[in-house]
C-alpha cells in the first residue's frame, strides 16, 4: 500500500475509531461482551443449581415407533413444554424441548444435519408415577425419565453415563407479549403468570416472571452505543448435563485455549458467538471466529459427545468436583476410598431457538466421530494440491509481484501449490473483480501459474460494496437478497469497501445465485485453477455491536439473533457449490473460511484467523486445530509465521516446521509486516524451510489417504494422543504434540532458543521410529530429544506402513506420476500394516465413477503384501514402487518379488546400525497385487 489515498483515509478513520485503535498489542476486551454484559447469560447464570420447577406430565406420554413425546410443565408459571425423545441409529439419543404452544414458531436450525437422522425403535421397559424407563436397545442401555422434578438419565447397566437437568438448570424462556401490549391480551394468561411469580423460588426470580424491571434487558439491551431492540423479548434456553466419572472434556471450538476444557467457575463461560476479534488473546474463553457446539467427554472407559444444535449466541459453563484437587489429593481419595466419584457438570445457555441435543454415546472415540459424522457429515475430500504448501500475503501487489514470487520458489527450489490474493486484488474491494491497474490480465497470470501446474486463491468476502456501478450489488438489490435491518430496509454496515450490504445467505435462492457467480463467464478473469477464500463471514461489521451484525437484523422472518453462528457456514457452502457448478459438477472445490459452524467440515478448510508472530501463538495453533479436529473439522491450519507483527527468523523457521505437519499449511502476513517469503532470511534458513516443505510434500500420499479416511469415516486427521490411546491417562491433557492419523507422532519445537524437547511416546506395547534417523524408541516413555534449529521431532509408529513420494517437485501436481517409497515400520512382533490411496487428485470421479485405487499393505511373516481393498474400483496409475524401507528388520539372505505368478529377486541393502532394510527398485505398479518375500537362511535350513 502506498501513501493512503483520501478515499482510504475515510475508511481507515472509521476502522480506527471502531476497532483498530488499541494502543497495546492485544484484543480490546471492551469491544466484546462478558456474560454479565449479555443480558440472557447474566439472567440464566444467576439461576443456581437446585430443585427444578419442571415436572414431566407422564399422562401425556405418547410413544410411536421411534419417537416419544411428553409434556413438561413449569410449576412456577404453568407454561407447558414439549419433550421429544428419539433413539437414533448408531447409539445416539436426541432430546428436543420446545414450547408446547409458542406464540409463534421458534427457530430450529436447518441445513446442519445432512438428513433427518434415522431412528430406531424405542420401547418402554417400565412406567410408574415417578417416571418411565425406556430401553435404548443393546448393551443394556436405558433412558430413565423422572417426573418430579423432571430429569433424564442415560444408564448402562448400573452406571449412569449422563444426566440431563440433574442440577435443575433447565430454563426455557417462553415467548410472551410485551407488557405494553399485554393489556389487550388474554387476561387469564397474565393472571396465571403472576401466580407463577408468587410461587417462584428466590433463585429463579430472573427466569420466568413477567414483573422484572426493564433493566434486566428483557425487551431491549444496550451494549456500548448499540441498542438491541428485542421485539420478541426474552427467549433464552438453558440445560445442564452431568457426566459422572468424567474429568476430561474437549471441543466447543473456537477458543484460543488449551485442548482440555477448563472449569469456568469464577470466570466467564466459554462463549460461542462468531466474532471478528482483532488481535485476539490466548488462554481465555472468549468467542472467536467460529462456533461448533459439540463437546466430547472422555475417560478411560468411554468417550461420549454432546451436540447442542443451536445457532444463537451460546455460553457453556463447565464445573468439576475434582477441579482444583491436586494429584496428591486425588491419590488420597483413591487410597481412602473416597466415595466421591469425579464428575463434570456442563451447562449450555443459548439466546433463542429450541433445545435440540444429540447425545453420542460412543463408547470408543472413533465411534463418537462416526456418530457425529452421521449427523453433520464428514470432512470434504479436498483436492490433493490443497494439501500442499500455500503462499499468502496481504497483499501480493500486482501481477508482476505474483510472477516474481512464483519465480522465487523455482529459484530457491521450494515447492508450492497455491499463491493467494487478499482484498487489495479486487477493484475497490468489489469482490469478483480485479484491480484494473494491478491485475489487468488475470487470465494471463493464471495461465502463467497453470503452466507451472500451480494454482491461485482469490478472496471473496460476503460484504458487498454499496455502489450502483457494481454488478453484484445491483443484482442482489434487484433480487432483494440483502439482509434487512429491523425496519425492513437493507441492512448496511461498514467493512473493507466502506458502506456494505450483506447478502442473506440463509436464503436458498440467494445461495444458488451466489454459486452461479463463480461460473467462468460470470467471474471474469477466473479460470479452473482459481479457488476461493471467504473471510470476514462471521459476519464482520466494523461499526456493528461487537464488530458484527445487529441481532435484530432480519433474515426473512428470523432474526439475526437466531441464525448468527450459521451465517459463515452458509457463505462457504454457497461458494463451494459455485466451484462445483462451474466445472459441471466434476471438480472438487477448495474454499477456505474463517467463520464456521457444525457442518462446515463439508465445505472446505478453516484457519484460526488473525494470529500474531509470537511463540505463544505458535503453541496455541496445536490445541486450536486439535479441538476442531475432534468435532469434525480436520482441514485446519494457522497462519504460518503469524499474521500480525514480524516473526524472528527462529520463530518463522519453527512455524514452518510445525505448519508442515498440520493439515492446512499456509503462510500469511499482514499488510504492515515486512516481506517474509521463505528465501528472505539467508541461505541457511532458506535451506531449513525448503527441507521441511519438502518433508510435507514427500508425505502428501499419507495426508491424502488420511483425508480420504476422514471423508469416509469422520476420523480426524490431526488428533490428540488420547484418541488412539484412550486408556492412557498420561495422554489426556497433552496438547504440545499430536498424531497425524495413527502412525505419525509430531512434537514441534515451540520454545524460543530450545535445545531439547521432551516428547511422550504413548503405548506400552509400541515402538516408535524417528523418521529422520530411523532410531527406534520404546513406547510409554517421556523421551528427551536434543534439538537444533533443523530439528522437527517426528516418529513413525512401529506396526505402520506409510507411503511417501520422496521425489519432491515444484508442485504436488508435478508429482502425480512419481513412484512411491514405502516406509514399513515393524512392531515388536514384526508386523506392520498401512494403506495406499490413489485417484486423480482433483475430481469427483473417485465418488461418481469409483475411479480410485485403495490398497491394503500388510507386512506379516516376513512378507509384505499389497491387496486390493476395492476390487470393483478402476483407476490406472503410472506410479510404481521404487523403494521399500523396512525399519526394525533383520538382514535377509534373499528377497523375492512375487507378482503375476512369477518370482524375481530384488536387490537390497541392510544398514546394521539402525536395522534398516532397503529394497532396491522392486518396480511394481502401485495399483498391482504383489508380495515381497524376505527369505532367511535358517528358514531354508529348517
Partner 1 sequence: MTCLHLLLTLVFAVSLGTPVEIQRPRGVPLTKKQFYEESKPFTCLDGSRTIPFDRVNDDYCDCKDGSDEPGTAACPNGSFHCTNAGYRPMFIPSSRINDGICDCCDTTDEYNSGAKCENTCKELGRKEREVLQKMAEITKEGFLLKQQLIEEAKKGQQEKQSKVTDMQENKKQLDEKVEALRTVKETAEQPEKEAKERHLKAWEEQKAAIRLEKDKAKMAETFLELDDNADGFVSVSELQSHAELDPDADGTLTEIEAQGLMGGAEQVDTSTFESVWPKIKDKYHSEVSREEADISCLEPAPVETPPDEVKEPVVDNDSEPYPEDDISEEEDEDDEDEDDYHEDDDKVSAQPTIKTPEKTHEDEEAMPPYDADTQALIDAAQKARDDFEEAEKALREMDDQIRNIEKELSFDFGPDAEFTYLYSQCYELTTSEYIYRLCPFNRVSQKPKYGGSETNLGTWGSWSGPENNKYLLMKYEQGTGCWQGPNRSTTVKLTCGKETVVTSTSEPSRCEYLMEFTTPAVCQEPANIDPSPHDHVEL
406 binds partner 1 (CB under 8 A): no
Nearest distance from C-beta of residue 672 to partner 1, angstroms: 4
Q: Are 471 and 462 in contact (CB under 8 A)?
A: no
Per-residue cell: 39: 443480558
Smallest distance from partner 1 to CB 809, Å:
5
Q: How far apart are CA 204 and CA 194, in angstroms?
A: 14
Report the run of H or E that residue 304 belongs to, with start and end.
strand 303-308
Check: CB of residue 50 under 8 Å from CB of residue 59: no
List the one residue from 813, 858, 865, 879 that touches partner 1 (CB under 8 A).
Answer: 813
Binding mask 647-686 for partner 1 (x = CB under 8 A): ------------------------xxxxx-----------
Instruction: Find the binder of partner 1 among 492, 818, 851, 929 (CB under 8 A).
Output: 818
Q: 349: helix, coil or strand? A: strand
Q: Would you state the cell numbers that stand for residue 334, as one nine-digit string?
A: 483413591
Least separation in angstroms between residue 6's CB and partner 1 is: 7
Q: What share of the chain is helix, strand, coil (3-state, %, to 5)?
A: 25, 30, 45
Rule CB under 8 A: choose which of 36, 159, 265, 400 binds partner 1.
400
In angstroms, give the least distance from the CB of 818 to partner 1.
7
- Count of positions on this chain that bind partner 1 (CB under 8 A): 38
> Does 9 contact partner 1 by CB under 8 A?
yes
Contact between 731 and 626 under an 8 Å Cβ cutoff? The reply is no
Using CB under 8 A, which residues numbered 232 to 271 contact partner 1? none
Cell 482444583 belongs to 324
Q: Is 188 in the site for partner 1 (CB under 8 A)?
A: no
**Residue 171 CB, nearest distance to partner 1 (Å)?**
45
902: phi then psi, degrees, rounded to nearest 5: -115, 155
CB 419, min distance to partner 1, A: 15
- Closest of 509, 510, 49 to residue 238, by C-alpha: 49
Q: Got the DSSP string for 195-209?
A: HHHHH--GGGHHHH-
- Of positions 80, 262, 453, 777, contacts partner 1 by CB under 8 A: 453
Closer Cβ to partner 1, 35 or 916, answer by number: 916
Min. distance of Cβ 15 from partner 1 in angstroms?
11
Interface with partner 1, residue 403, by CB under 8 A: no
> Which residues are CB-neighbours of 27 under 8 A, at least 6 positions away?
277, 278, 279, 280, 281, 286
Instruction: Figure out which of the listed residues 809, 830, 850, 898 binds partner 1, where binding follows CB under 8 A.
Output: 809
**Interface characters, 19-58, with partner 1 (x: CB under 8 A):** -x--------------------------------------
Binding to partner 1 by residue 752, rule CB under 8 A? no
**Cβ-count burial of 57 within 10 angstroms (0-12 exposed, 13-18 middle, 19+ buried)?**
middle
- Separation of alpha carbons 346 and 330, rounded Å: 21
Cell numbers of 354, please? Answer: 429450541
896 vs 934: CA distance, rounded Å: 7
* By the rule CB under 8 A, 412 interacts with partner 1: no
Single residue of 156, 197, 401, 587 touching partner 1 by CB under 8 A: 401
Identify which range of 97-105, 203-211, 294-302, 805-813 contacts partner 1 by CB under 8 A.
805-813
Written as nine digits, the cell of 224 is 456500548
772 contributes a contact to partner 1 by CB under 8 A: no
CB closer to partner 1, 716 vs 819: 819
Q: Is 4 in the site for partner 1 (CB under 8 A)?
A: yes
Does 461 sit near partner 1 (CB under 8 A)?
A: no
Catalytic residues: 535, 610
Evaluated on CA atoms 670, 675, 679, 683, the torsion sign reads: negative
Residue 883 near partner 1 by CB under 8 A: yes
The candidate with the shortest Cα–Cα distance to 72, out of 59, 63, 89, 86, is: 59
Q: Do residues 856 and 803 touch, judged by C-beta distance below 8 A?
A: no
Applying CB under 8 A, does 115 fall inside the site for partner 1?
no
Does residue 876 touch partner 1 according to CB under 8 A? no
Q: Compare residues 671 and 764 and give the one whose CB is closer to partner 1.
A: 671
Shortest Cβ 31–partner 1 spacing (Å): 17
Q: Phi, psi at residue 776, to the nearest 5°? A: -95, 135
Q: From the list 808, 836, 885, 889, which residue makes contact with partner 1 (rule: CB under 8 A)?
A: 808
Task: Report the distance separating Cα 796 and Cα 823, nearest Å.
Answer: 9
CA–CA separation, 274 vs 571, rounded Å?
Answer: 13
Binding mask 587-626 for partner 1 (x = CB under 8 A): ----------------------------------------
Minimum distance of partner 1 from residue 698's CB (angstroms): 9
Q: How far apart are CA 940 and CA 942, in angstroms?
A: 5
Among 67, 452, 471, 894, interactor with partner 1 by CB under 8 A: 452
Query: Hey, CA dihedral for 810, 816, 817, 819, is it positive or negative?
Result: positive
913 touches partner 1 by CB under 8 A: no
Residue 12 within binding range of partner 1, rule CB under 8 A: yes
328: alpha, beta or left? (left if phi > 0; alpha if psi -120 to 50) = alpha
Cα–Cα dist 607/503, whole Å: 23
The SS3 assignment for 899 reads strand
List residues binding partner 1 (CB under 8 A): 1-6, 9, 12, 20, 397, 400-401, 413, 437, 451-453, 671-675, 694, 806-810, 813-815, 817-819, 882-883, 920-921
Amino acid at each position: 500500500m502506498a501513501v493512503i489515498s483520501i478515499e482510504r483515509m475515510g475508511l481507515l478513520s472509521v476502522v480506527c475509531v471502531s476497532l483498530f485503535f488499541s494502543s497495546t498489542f492485544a484484543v480490546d476486551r471492551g469491544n466484546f461482551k462478558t456474560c454479565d454484559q449479555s443480558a440472557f447469560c447474566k439472567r440464566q447464570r444467576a439461576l443456581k443449581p437446585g430443585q427444578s420447577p419442571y415436572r414431566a406430565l407422564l399422562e401425556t406420554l405418547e410413544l410411536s415407533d421411534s419417537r416419544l413425546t411428553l409434556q413438561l410443565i413449569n410449576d412456577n408459571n404453568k407454561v407447558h413444554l414439549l419433550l421429544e425423545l428419539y433413539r437414533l441409529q448408531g447409539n445416539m439419543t436426541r432430546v428436543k424441548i420446545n414450547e408446547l404452544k409458542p406464540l409463534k414458531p421458534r427457530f430450529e436450525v436447518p441445513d446442519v444435519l445432512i438428513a433427518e437422522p434415522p431412528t430406531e425403535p424405542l420401547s418402554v421397559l417400565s412406567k410408574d408415577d415417578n417416571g418411565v424407563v425406556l430401553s435404548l436397545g443393546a448393551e443394556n442401555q436405558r433412558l430413565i425419565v423422572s417426573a418430579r422434578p423432571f430429569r433424564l438419565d442415560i444408564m448402562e447397566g448400573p452406571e449412569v453415563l449422563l444426566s440431563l437437568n440433574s442440577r435443575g438448570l433447565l430454563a426455557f424462556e417462553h415467548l410472551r407479549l410485551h407488557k405494553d401490549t399485554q393489556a389487550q391480551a388474554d387476561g387469564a394468561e397474565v393472571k396465571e403468570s403472576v401466580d407463577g411469580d408468587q410461587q417462584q423460588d428466590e433463585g429463579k426470580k430472573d427466569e420466568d416472571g413477567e414483573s422484572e424491571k426493564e433493566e434486566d434487558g428483557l425487551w431491549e439491551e444496550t451494549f456500548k452505543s448499540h441498542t438491541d431492540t428485542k421485539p420478541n423479548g426474552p427467549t433464552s434456553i438453558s440445560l445442564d448435563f452431568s457426566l459422572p466419572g468424567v474429568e476430561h472434556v474437549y471441543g466447543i471450538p473456537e477458543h484460543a485455549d488449551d485442548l482440555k476444557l477448563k472449569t469456568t467457575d469464577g470466570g466467564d463461560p466459554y462463549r460461542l458467538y462468531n466474532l471478528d476479534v482483532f488481535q485476539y488473546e490466548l488462554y481465555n474463553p472468549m468467542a472467536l471466529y467460529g462456533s461448533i457446539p459439540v463437546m466430547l467427554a472422555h475417560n478411560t472407559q468411554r468417550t461420549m459427545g454432546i451436540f447442542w444444535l443451536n445457532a444463537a449466541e451460546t455460553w457453556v459453563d463447565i464445573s468439576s468436583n475434582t477441579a482444583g484437587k491436586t494429584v496428591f489429593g486425588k491419590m488420597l481419595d483413591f487410597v481412602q476410598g473416597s466415595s466421591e466419584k469425579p464428575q463434570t457438570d456442563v451447562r449450555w445457555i443459548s439466546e433463542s431457538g429450541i433445545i435440540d441435543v444429540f447425545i453420542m454415546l460412543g463408547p470408543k472415540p472413533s465411534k463418537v466421530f462416526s456418530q457425529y459424522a452421521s449427523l453433520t457429515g464428514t470432512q470434504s475430500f479436498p483436492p490433493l494440491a490443497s494439501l500442499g504448501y500455500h503462499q499468502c500475503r496481504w497483499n501480493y501487489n500486482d501481477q508482476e509481484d505474483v510472477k516474481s514470487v512464483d519465480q522465487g520458489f523455482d529459484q530457491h527450489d521450494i515447492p508450492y501449490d497455491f499463491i493467494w490474493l487478499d482484498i487489495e486484488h479486487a477493484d475497490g474491494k468489489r469482490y469478483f473483480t480485479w484491480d484494473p491497474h494491478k491485475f489487468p490480465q488475470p487470465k494471463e497470470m493464471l495461465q502463467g501459474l497453470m503452466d507451472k501446474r500451480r494454482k491461485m486463491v482469490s478472496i471473496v468476502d460476503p460484504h458487498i460494496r454499496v455502489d450502483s456501478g457494481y454488478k453484484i450489488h445491483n443484482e442482489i438489490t434487484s433480487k432483494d437478497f440483502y439482509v434487512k435491518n429491523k425496519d425492513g430496509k437493507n441492512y448496511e454496515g461498514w467493512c473493507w469497501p466502506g458502506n456494505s450490504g450483506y447478502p442473506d445467505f440463509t436464503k436458498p435462492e440467494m445461495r444458488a445465485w451466489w454459486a452461479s457467480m463463480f461460473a467462468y463467464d460470470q467471474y471474469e478473469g477466473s479460470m479452473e485453477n482459481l479457488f476461493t477464500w471467504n473471510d470476514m463471514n462471521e459476519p464482520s461489521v466494523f461499526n456493528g455491536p461487537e464488530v458484527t451484525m445487529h441481532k435484530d437484523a432480519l433474515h426473512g422472518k428470523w432474526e439475526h439473533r437466531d441464525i448468527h453462528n450459521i451465517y459463515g457456514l452458509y457463505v462457504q457452502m454457497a461458494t463451494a457449490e459455485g466451484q462445483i457448478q462451474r466445472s459441471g459438477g466434476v471438480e472438487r472445490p477448495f474454499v477456505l473460511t474463517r467463520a464456521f459452524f457444525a457442518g462446515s467440515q463439508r465445505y472446505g478448510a478453516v484457519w484460526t484467523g488473525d494470529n500474531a508472530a509470537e511463540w505463544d501463538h505458535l503453541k496455541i495453533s496445536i490445541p486450536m486445530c486439535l479441538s476442531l479436529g475432534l468435532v469434525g473439522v480436520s482441514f485446519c491450519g494457522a497462519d504460518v509465521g503469524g499474521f500480525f507483527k514480524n516473526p524472528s527468523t527462529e520463530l518463522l523457521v519453527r512455524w514452518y516446521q510445525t505448519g508442515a505437519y498440520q493439515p492446512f499449511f499456509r503462510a500469511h502476513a499482514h499488510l504492515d509486516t515486512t516481506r517474509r517469503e521463505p528465501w528472505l532470511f539467508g541461505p541457511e534458513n532458506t535451506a531449513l524451510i525448503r527441507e521441511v516443505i519438502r518433508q510435507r510434500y514427500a508425505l502428501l500420499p499419507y495426508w491424502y489417504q488420511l483425508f480420504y479416511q476422514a471423508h469416509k469415516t469422520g476420523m480426524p486427521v490431526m488428533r490428540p494422543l488420547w484418541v488412539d490411546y484412550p486408556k492412557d491417562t498420561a495422554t489426556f491433557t497433552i496438547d504440545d504434540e499430536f498424531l497425524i492419523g495413527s502412525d505419525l507422532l509430531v512434537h514441534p519445537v515451540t520454545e524460543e532458543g530450545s535445545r531439547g524437547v521432551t516428547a511422550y511416546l504413548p503405548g506400552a506395547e509400541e515402538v516408535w521410529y524417528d523418521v529422520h534417523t530411523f532410531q527406534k524408541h520404546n513406547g510409554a516413555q517421556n523421551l528427551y530429544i536434543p534439538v537444533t534449529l533443523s530439528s522437527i521431532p517426528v516418529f513413525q509408529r512401529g506396526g505402520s506402513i506409510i507411503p511417501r513420494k520422496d521425489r519432491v517437485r515444484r508442485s504436488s501436481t508435478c508429482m502425480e506420476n512419481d513412484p512411491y517409497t514405502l516406509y514399513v515400520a515393524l512392531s515388536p512382533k514384526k508386523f506392520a500394516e498401512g494403506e495406499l490411496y490413489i485417484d486423480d487428485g482433483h475430481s469427483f470421479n473417485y465418488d461418481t465413477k469409483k475411479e480410485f485405487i485403495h490398497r491394503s499393505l500388510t507386512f506379516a511373516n516376513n512378507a509384505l503384501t499389497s491387496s486390493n481393498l476395492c476390487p470393483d474400483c478402476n483407476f490406472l496409475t503410472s506410479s510404481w514402487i521404487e523403494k521399500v524401507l523396512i525399519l526394525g528388520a533383520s538382514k535377509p539372505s534373499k528377497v523375492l518379488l512375487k507378482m503375476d505368478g512369477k518370482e524375481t529377486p530384488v536387490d537390497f541393502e541392510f544398514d546394521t546400525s539402525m536395522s534398516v532394510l532397503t529394497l532396491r527398485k522392486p518396480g511394481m505398479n502401485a495399483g498391482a497385487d504383489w508380495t515381497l518375500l524376505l527369505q532367511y537362511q535358517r528358514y531354508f535350513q529348517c
